[in-house]
Structure 1
Amino acid sequence: MKRNQVLSLGLAAVMVLSAAGCSGGSKTLEGDTGSTAKQSEQGSKTEESKSAGASAGGVTITILNTKAGMEKFFEPAFEDYREKTGVTVEMSSISEGDSPYEAIQKRYAAGDAPTLAIMDCNDIVALAEQKALPLDGEKWVADGGDKYGVKVGGKLYGFPFSLEGRGLLFNRTAIEKTLGRKFDEKSIQTLDDFKAVCDELVAAGMEKPVCISKEDWSLGAHYLGLMYEEQDGTAKGAEDFIGSLKDGSGKLIDNARFNSLFDTFDVLMKYNINGKDPLAADYDTDNAYFAEGDVAFWFNGNWVWEVVSGFADSSSEFGMLPVVQNTKDDKFNTLVNAVGSKQIMIDKNASPEQIQAAKDFLNWLVYDKTAQDIVANQILAVPCFSTFDASPDNKLGQALKAYADAGLTFDQYNGLPGDHWSVCGGFVQKYLGGKTDRAGLAADLEGYWKSKK
């Protein structure tokens, strides 16, 4: 058992990765906060570089980094990049305690705008029309940028840096070892299919093959979010649905998607390893249950790999399933959610030379082998682009990328209020803990939305 070796990586690290990325008007909820405890030495700003203008050897571009720890992987490549292009790249990281939005606003106020900024999706939405350069027409748009980049007013402003998604994660090795046969995830097309596999696992000795984590962000943002996204798969469909809840014309207890998702949730609860006291579940232990094969399935996202890989045997194999439901001719039984969790914007007020250098840098990220290695194999980010794959060492990332490359993903709904995951996640916690029934959950959720008129 490795769990005592890596417990310190648990809840704090994974919650940062999974919960705080892009909410309430953003393009994704998964992703990290991007805060980092210190600025990198190379990226430290000096009075001489504050103008972000031309350096002695050519053009200098600055990057505001909000993805913790990333600068240490890029900085060794920047000298080679300067020698090949004549462009000096300086990367600095935000201060501890600052959100990405707060950090860039401080730069704007100081007249020290970065040429490029790695931001959360909601920040791009907020800044796009005033501060960001439209990126439509760039080469990388056709290779994944159009699907996963942030758009505002029909224009593309965000370069999608990394892909994150959620679904029913599975431990292939644990399933196959328990059942004594190969596991074909494509055979799981409906909730009945999923139940049959769970029953087979129980009969073979895995008493509780599912893990449900109790965290409000997992229940209120990640699981409940599916209810809005899967009304018809469009933002308008979600907005119309929410509008009906606000004005009282929509009744959740009569809504087909609400019921099918909670039919699935009921099955997950039936097989939940934390079922005896689900609200006392421990997230570190959940990671270990899944990684070490105590359970076969866990509703979560590919971002948990950083922690799961610390528990799992290196030979173990993992994958991802859609959140299957007993619905006929339902595309969502074959799709997983996938979104660009970090986005890069270019400052539209930079000099023409800097803007061109910044565009060239984004092309470098997509098409250069050195950059691809940094993104996929060193940072272990999942590429949003078809030009390269996730690292073989990132097994959940590879599973998500396979869905993306096959066109089997759907987008996150962008319009949930900032308190949705905490308030509505609390309602789902009540349901998980047996303190309310489905009608009570529906009433709680309807009350929340009526309060948002």
Structure 2
Amino acid sequence: MKLRKAASFAIALTVVTGLLAGCSKGNSATNAGKEDKGNEGTQTEQASKDVKLTFFNTSAEVNTVFEELFKKYHEQNPQVTIELIPTPIGGAQLEKFQSLLASGNPATIVNLDAGTILQYKDDFLDLEPEKAKYEALTNPGAIDGALLDGQFLGIPWTAQGYGLLYNKRAVEEGIGGAFDPASVKTRDDLEAIFKKIEASGKAPVMLHGADWSLGAHYLGLTYSLQSQKVEDNRKFVEELKNGQVQLTENPQFTGLMDTFDLLKKYNARKSDPLVADYNRDSADFAKGAAAFYFMGDWSWAVIGTLEGRDADFGILPLPISNNPEDFGNAQVAYSEPKLFAIDDSKSTPEQQEAAKAFIEWMVSSEDGQKAIITDMGLSMPYKDLKAKSTNVMSNAVSEYVKQGKIINIGVINYLPQDYWAKTGAAMQKYLVGNIDRQGLAQEVQDYWKSYAGK
């Protein structure tokens, strides 16, 4: 989920507008060339074999890896040139995408959240003819999880999970002995460990105070925990819109917030909980300044590169009640957060075919998989993996996936694009004590009521 929402790296925004203009349908130079004869016709025929693609990337923390991948593909396919349109992490990504679309210069390929692709589905190529191919390449259920209102509009390339990350050394020093992750089955189990860690003089947990973390990843679990079926969770959201739900009477919401109160109490940042410095929070956790961290496996992009970090990490489900059997207490949140989609509003048939070929190469070739798995440190929902993951966190998530212990958070694909920012702001108020539980519930309900009938 947070290749878009889960980092605070500083990435420069660079757009080559001249190239974009050259990639739209009805390119006058190309059309004119079709009528040329003689030497000019020969030159135009040669030029027509060359295809320029643009790639709009919202996984900003791995811009440079994509650029290297584009170069490698060009070496193997000299007729195809791919230019990156980067975006800064957490800042104005959707607005940039919208402005390119509105100006008639959309990127040929986009790496976007599934919800954004759904919102602009009429502008993307229907990939139904490619579906069977990708069903054969991916793990069972991966393509079904990527469908948007039943349509195959985007190709999954990553799989991500989140919960309570733990630093094994920090936990064991805090509790004074070996740590068995399986021993944490309930909220009370977690609090008992927090108390021991705090008594040892260490901070029990890192709670990141950004709106995306609080609104999407934490509060967002409310919508995914209602049922193991995405369709049921979509119905719950509709009930919220229609004012049929009182969150303070909903066991999933109240359970989540009871656990949130626990995290808030033992938060390493409780003196300044809204500072929300992602790099600093991740680094401090990685070096043992906090034993646990509510975050996802994407944080390895920061943690994995740090000097002086600890070596042993893992992930726990976030317990939301004191009944071990309750859904959510033994599962980690899991999704395919980003999809590759192809423009169908301005790109030419030649560009679309070249884009299909490039995406297939990127997710199935050794070079592409190495870039995604080894260099980016991400997991892929594909069967024949030719590269080994160095992401300790994603490997830990994979163990839960293999056991079927996951919370399918696919309902987020159908939520409004501002849900995490708006409700995240309410969570921030709650975090610092500006509103109480009832006030939080009311603000969240009011947000959803504003979407009634939409």
Q: TM-score, normalised by structure 2?
A: 0.78
Which of 139, 142, 145 in structure 2 is aligned with 1:147? 142
2:17 aligned with 1:37, yes or no? no
Please, which of 94, 110, 119 is the counterpart of residue 117 of structure 1?
110
Counterparts of 1:242-257 in structure 2, within 5 Å, are 242-257=237-252
Secondary structure class of the residue paired with 1:209? strand
- 2:406 matches 1:413: no
Per-residue Cα deviation, 1:129-158 (whole angstroms, up to 9, x for no partner): 443132453423241485266323312111
CA gap of 1:192–1:236, structure 2 versus 1, over 3 A, is: same
Select between 72-81 and 355-364 the one with higher mean Cα deviation.
355-364
Partner secondary structure for residue 267 of structure 2 = coil
Q: Tell me how many residue pairs correspond in the alignment.
A: 423
Q: Deviations over 1:102-138 (max 9, x none)?
A: 558747865x665533333233213334431324534
Q: CA deviation at 1:257?
A: 0.7
Q: Does residue 443 of the first structure (1) align with residue 442 of the second (2)?
A: yes
Query: Which of 18, 23, 43 does residue 2 from structure 2 map onto?
Result: 18
Secondary structure at the residue paired with 1:154?
Answer: coil
- Residues 336-347 of structure 1 correspond to what in structure 2 (within 5 A)? 336-347=332-343
Residues 217/354 of structure 1: CA separation in 2 closer, same or farther (3 Å cut)? closer
Q: Residue 153 of structure 1 aligns to a residue in which SS?
A: coil
2:6–2:212 Cα contact (<8 Å) kept: no
Mind listing any 5+ residue stretches in structure 2 that lack a counterpart?
A: 32-43
Letter in 2 for 1:116: I
Q: Within 1, Cα distance between the matches of 2:9 and 2:410?
A: 17
2:60 is the counterpart of 1:82: no
Unaligned runs of 5+ in 1: 1-16, 22-28
TM norm structure 1: 0.78
* Structure 1 match to 2:35: none
For residue 221 of structure 1, what is the aligned residue in structure 2? Answer: 216
**Helix, strand or coil: the match of 1:38?**
coil
* Partner of residue 84, structure 2: 92
Aligned-partner Cα distance in 2 for 1:253–1:359: 47
User: Are 1:82 and 1:88, in contact at CA under 8 Å, matched by a contact in 2?
Assistant: yes
> 2: distance between equivalents of 1:294 and 1:31?
19
8 Å contact from structure 2 (residues 175, 193) kept in 1: no
RMSD: 3.8
Cα distance, 1:159 vs. partner? 0.8
CA deviation string 1:250-295 (max 9, x = no partner): 2222111111111211221232223345346655543333111121
Selected match of 1:403 from 400, 410, 417: 400
Q: Does 1:334 align with 2:330?
A: yes
2:155 maps to 1:159? yes
1:35 deviates by 7.7
What is the aligned-residue identity percentage? Answer: 29
Is residue 2:374 matched to residue 1:377?
yes
Q: Structure 1 pair 94/328, CA: closer, same or farther in 2 (3 Å)?
A: closer
Change (3 A) 1:34 1:341: farther
Return the letter of the residue paired with 1:362.
Answer: I
Matched-pair contact (CA < 8 Å) for 2:366–2:387:
no
The match for 2:424 is 425
Closer, same or farther: CA 207–371 of 1 in aligned 2, 3 Å = closer
1:11-410 superposed matches below 5 A = 18=2, 21=4, 37-38=13-14, 58=49, 60=51, 62-66=53-57, 67-68=59-60, 69-70=63-64, 71-82=66-77, 88-94=80-86, 99=93, 102-103=96-97, 106=100, 110=104, 115-135=108-128, 136-142=130-136, 143-144=138-139, 146-147=141-142, 150-203=146-199, 205-279=200-274, 283-311=278-306, 313-326=308-321, 327-347=323-343, 355-388=352-385, 392-409=389-406, 410=408
Q: Deviations over 1:188-216 (max 9, x none)?
A: 2222222232233334x144311222222
Give 1:173 shift.
Answer: 2.6
Aligned to 1:8: none
Which deviates further from its counterpart, 65-74 or 165-174? 65-74
CA contact (8 A) 1:391 1:398 kept: no
CA contact (8 A) 1:318 1:396 kept: yes
1:202-256 Cα offsets, whole Å, 9 max, x none, are 34x1443112222222212221101111111333333333343344432222111
Q: What is the alpha-carbon distance in structure 1 between the residues aligned to residue 309 and residue 92 of structure 2?
A: 36
CA distance in structure 2 between the aligned counterparts of 1:282 and 1:357, rounded to whole angstroms: 40
What residue number does 2:41 align with?
Answer: none
Q: CA deviation at 1:407?
A: 3.7
Question: Aligned partners of 1:403 and 1:390: how far apart in 2?
Answer: 20
CA shift in 2, pair 1:144/1:368, >3 Å: same
